[in-house]
Amino acid sequence: MNKIIKLCIHCLFVAVFVAIITGTGFAGSSNNTYSGYPSNFNGSGIVDMFNGGKYISINDSSYEITENTKFNRPGNLNCSKRWFKTNDFVYYILESDSQKIKSLWFTKDKYLGGGKP
């Protein structure tokens, strides 16, 4: 029984090591399946509230939307903010040292890269 447990632990360590080395399966991965999407983001989450106004709530945190905020969807970069709604999963990039959204990226894939899944 101990041999089986040791073998399972060893296999787990090998799998984690390979995943880290190849960059697959983790939030820090740069394997991006959407053309035009960046490799790294400041964060990600579920849109709690967005009515097209000046603020968006993502994972219970409020962020400001400005006239310069870019909204992006796969195959439709720089689209209208009307394409975004409550319960969408998004990645975001913030303006330097602020709570203002520089760009918002819709995705169905929670592990695009960078940010917090």
Note the pLDDT tens digit of each residue in 68-101.
999 999 989 999 999 999 999 999 999 998 999 9
> Tokens 């970069």, residue?
77
What fold is seen in the domain 43-106?
OB fold (Dihydrolipoamide Acetyltransferase, E2P) (2.40.50)
Q: Give the angle 16-18-24 at the CA atoms, nearest 5°.
A: 85
Angle value at C-alpha 81, between 62 and 45, nearest 5 degrees: 40
Query: Would you list the domain boundaries of the chain?
Result: 1-31, 43-106
- Whether residue 59 contacts residue 4, with contact meaning beta carbons closer than 8 Å, is answered with no
**Three-state SS for 19?**
helix
pTM assigned to the model: 0.66
